[in-house]
Amino acid sequence: MSSVARLSKDDWIAAAAARFADAGAAAVRVEPLAKVLGVSKGSFYWHFSDRAALLAAIVDAWEQRGTLEIIDAVEEAADDPGKRLWILIERTFGTPAEADAFEAAVRAWAAQDAHAQAVAKRVDHQRLAFVAELLRAAGIPKAEAKRRADLLYCTLIGEYTQRSYGKPKLSKASLRSLHRLLLTD
């Protein structure tokens, strides 16, 4: 069986995403990835036109897994908006260190790449709109819901940053306080 048939596009994206999280976009190179995967570069070109297409696919996969799938899971998990918000907080603040590193790498890449920047802006908008919608459903007025969504998001981004250099995760008690503050009128 040829290497083209053995590796899927998702295999390449997964391997590249791991490298991306560890060392950023500059470290995502076709030949070293092919060596790690035990295939020729030809396998890569079966799925991608070039390195830029792979980097775009990494960012697109981040949007799907790190935003759209989470929103879908939270919506399916509970009917009560306050409960949904708690599930979202637990899930997003409870990510492993690798996910935090990946988030930071995407944001660093977005400062240099137009596609990554467009996706990051879209992700930010989707995440903020979802949180504001949850808060509105919990009875928070529209303008205040938007402000509180911004505060939650800034807290999350700050948490990613601090955890990247070894700060422990926020405690469950801190997350409960945050949840209460967001829902208190």
| Ranges of the chain with pLDDT below 70 | 1-5
pTM of the entire predicted model: 0.89
The CATH number that applies at residue 54 is 1.10.357.10
**What is the reported pLDDT for 166?**
84
CB 68 within 8 A of CB 126: yes
**What is the reported pLDDT for 3?**
42
**What is the reported pLDDT for 4?**
44
Query: CA 12, CA 18: separation in Å to the nearest integer?
Result: 10
The one-letter code for the residue type at 50 is D
**What is the reported pLDDT for 167?**
87
As for how many domains the chain has, the answer is: 1
Q: Which domain holds residue 37?
A: 3-183
**What is the reported pLDDT for 5?**
46
Query: CA 118, CA 100: separation in Å to the nearest integer?
Result: 20
Dihedral over alpha carbons 143, 148, 154, 158 (to 10 degrees): 170
